[in-house]
Every structure is written in C-alpha cells, then in structure tokens.
Amino acid sequence: MICTMTEANAPTPPTPTPPVTNSAAAARLISSAPTSWKIRRLLWSMVQSTLYRYSFHTWSNWRSTLLRLFGAKIGKQCSIRRTSRVYYPWLLEMGDLVIIGDRAEIYNLGLVTIGGRAMVSQEAYLCAGTHDYTQLAMPLITRPIIIGSDAWICARAFVGPGVTIGNGAVVGACAVVTKNIAPWKIVAGNPAQVVKDRKMPPPPS
C-alpha cells in the first residue's frame, strides 16, 4: 500500500532565519577602535602579561606606575593585585586607597571610575561594553561605569555597562548588577536586589 500526503495535511516548513549579510558579518570582525588604540592595546597586553603579571605581589606602586604610563589616573596608596586585568588603562580613573583584588577584571571598553577607598574584590567583573542585539551586526555599545567612594564590589560580582554604584554601597558576592544602586545600600542576587541598608560609619575623630 502506498501512502501519500495531501497538500492540506503536509507539515509547514520552518521559516528560515534571515541570512547575515556580508556587510553585517564584516562589521562584527572590524573593531571600531582607532588604530592608535589598537597599537597601545597591543603594547599594554605585552606589559600586562609580563612586567605587571610577574611582579612581586606587594609591588602595588609598581603596577600603579605601569598603569599611569599607559594613561590611567591612579590615586595614592592603591593596592592592585598582580593577577588583576585592565583592558584599556587610559579609560581607568581611581581615587586614593582603592583596592583591586586578585583576578578582578576591568573590561573598560568605556570609562570606569572608582572612587576613593572603594574595593573591587577577587574575580569581580566590571564590564563597560555590550552589543546592540537588535541589529544583525550587533555593533558595540560602550557605557561608563562609576563605582562610588567607600563602595565594595564583592567576590565574583558582575557590574554591567552604564551602571553607577553609589557611595558606600555593597554588591554581594556573585551578584549581577544591571541597574544603578543607591548610596549606602547592600544588594545581592541575580538580578541584584536591595537586601538592607548599610549604616554610614561615623567620621573619624
């Protein structure tokens, strides 16, 4: 017996996904960064993977000096661990007494500003770039990140592009922050939510 399928009950073929055009595919591969930035980035990558990475663990002043040589604005007496990573030093501004922990990642495609006495703990990730997913080429979008004075970004927390962390705020371990956090708030979770207030310490006598 030969079975046939009529046109009425034949399965509807899936709608094909629109192909990515050559121009869109090419746009993904072409960086919008100017050539001078690419050269500086190459030089910094070599310095960061050698003189920075293999310096003695207490040589924070040495690492601060290397960052300054590539355009970073670094305050006084900052503690910067040798396993931390900075993408563009010239888009980094740090106040005095800032702490950057081991394996902290500052992916500063946009400007990242860290206020005085703030702390970015180990393996925290500050990401100042994203992509416009509404376009096939997904062009790069850069937005600044501001970490307020006396704030604490705990271990493995993620801070997304365009986010401002208010003065004295605490971002809990492994939290994901995609919206601004008010000053002196403690947030946790994914997405990060306020869990309680942080009491402002009294001024030193």
pTM: 0.83
Predicted pLDDT of residue 205? 65
Predicted pLDDT of residue 173? 98
Mean pLDDT, consecutive 10-residue segments, the chain of 205 residues? 47 46 40 85 98 97 98 98 98 98 97 98 97 92 97 98 98 98 98 94 72
Domains along the sequence of the chain with CATH = 36-193 (2.160.10.10)
Please give, one letter per residue, the 3-state secondary structure of the chain.
CCCCCCCCCCCCCCCCCCCCCHHHHHHHHCCCCCHHHHHHHHHHHHHHHHHHCCCCCCCHHHHHHHHHHCCCEECCCCEECCCCEECCHHHEEECCCCEECCCCEEECCCCEEECCCCEECCCCEEECEEECCCCCCCCEEECCEEECCCCEECCCCEECCCCEECCCCEECCCCEECCCECCCEEEECCCCEEEEECCCCCCCC
Predicted pLDDT of residue 200? 80
Predicted pLDDT of residue 31? 56
